[in-house]
Amino acid sequence: MDPFLKPPKILITNPTVPQIALDILGRNCELIHTKDDKRESILEKVSGVDAILWATKVNLDVEILDKAGPQMKTVGAMSAGVNNIDVPELKKRGIRLGNTPEILDDAVADVAVLLALGAARRLHEGRLKIEKNQWTPGLTWMLGQDVRGSTVGIVGLGGIGQAVVKRMKGFSVSKFLYTGHREKSEGKELGCHFVSLETLVKDSDFVVVSCPLTPETRQMFNDSIFDKMKKTAVFVNVSRGEVVDQDALIRALKAGKIFAAGLDVMTPEPLPADHELVKLPNVVLLPHLGSATEFTRNGMAEVTAHNILRGIAGEEMFAEVC
């Protein structure tokens, strides 16, 4: 970097960003830190920065962009999903946006399989039986659903969906279905069958949601879709909570329209401790831990840092949204 030029100012929007990103960016940039990842803290510090490391659930919108100023031309999102970023507005302003797909595929797929198995074998309900001193075993007590010989439907056969298929092949699954905008060569390579959403939910024993949140997918899982699913079906969501009409899911679980659900994402986040989902025995919940491994989060932070540096330098990002 030219010693006569001022170092770029980078806003770090979350005080828990892994150190590896700070080390990479801090070599030649001035780092501006927020006290937390809340909107007010970001607005307080964003003015005059050249780039933003976006690691928060806050919406990156016109207000924050206006406050940042016209010199801000690079955003690095430490996530695969960018549903909380106004991408059209960034495009309009000529602001480059990078994200972190692929690096988190394996970790999120692990959680999807964990939730599928946990929900199918009544993990949460079994724990409740122990806590309530209701351990009364019998030959037909607490029977779950088999993965062996099942049909698994993947909604969104991107990197995460493909990683789920690769893992579940080891469980002697009979057939894999997937749905999306178009048939994919990766689907053929994995031996998956491309079908409509209606066919997938009707025929699948496990429905795994790994699609991005878009206006098209928002609340795509509603009463009508749950009504089409098998009563023995297990529903797994590692996408975004807003992909599901959560009230419809709760109704389906209570009425026995589906067997169980495993959720890493929900609405809102954090979920209140007294929420109806928490009270249901046939739901396995995780507090959005899909990418929460040390290796994965460090990898995401490293890619984000390099995306920012490349964006500032006018170079191609490792993963560029716009």
Q: For 122-177, what is each residue's pLDDT tens digit?
A: 999 999 999 999 999 999 999 999 999 999 999 999 999 999 999 999 999 999 99
**Tokens found for residue 9:** 């100012």
Please state the domain extents for the chain: 9-103+294-313, 105-285
Catalytic residue among 124, 181, 288, 306: 288
Cα 65 to Cα 42, 110, 296: the distances in Å are 11, 36, 29
Q: How far apart are the first and last CA of the chain?
A: 25
| Amino acid residing at 123 | L
288 as an active site residue: the answer is yes
In a 10 Å sphere around its CB, with 0-12 CB exposed, 13-18 middle and 19+ buried, how is residue 111 labelled? Answer: buried
CATH architecture of 105-285: 3-Layer(aba) Sandwich (3.40)
> Is there a shared CATH topology between the 9-103+294-313 domain and the 105-285 domain?
yes
CA gyration radius for the chain?
A: 22
SS3 sequence of 110-130 = HHHHHHHHHHHCCHHHHHHHH
CATH number for the domain formed by residue range(s) 9-103+294-313: 3.40.50.720
Q: Which residues is 175 bridged to in the sheet? A: 151
Distance CA 59, CA 39 (A): 8
Distance CA 98, CA 306 (A): 9
Q: What is the pLDDT of residues 99-116, one digit of tens each?
A: 999 999 999 999 999 999
Counted residue by residue, the chain has a size of: 322
**Is the backbone of residue 48 left (phi > 0), alpha (psi -120 to 50) or beta?**
left
Spatial contact of 149 and 196, defined as CB atoms under 8 Å apart: no
pLDDT tens digits in sequence order for the chain, 322 residues long: 454 478 999 999 999 999 999 999 999 999 999 999 999 999 999 999 999 999 999 999 999 999 999 999 999 999 999 999 999 999 999 999 999 999 999 999 999 999 999 999 999 999 999 999 999 999 999 999 999 999 999 999 999 999 999 999 999 999 999 999 999 999 999 999 999 999 999 999 999 999 999 999 999 999 999 999 999 999 999 999 999 999 999 999 999 999 999 999 999 999 999 999 999 999 999 999 999 999 999 999 999 999 999 999 999 999 999 9
| Cα torsion angle, 88, 93, 98, 99, sign | negative
Spatial contact of 232 and 145, defined as CB atoms under 8 Å apart: yes
| Amino acid residing at 312 | I
Separate counts of helices (H) and strands (E) for the chain: 13, 12
Spatial contact of 212 and 188, defined as CB atoms under 8 Å apart: no
Query: Which pTM value belongs to this model?
Result: 0.93
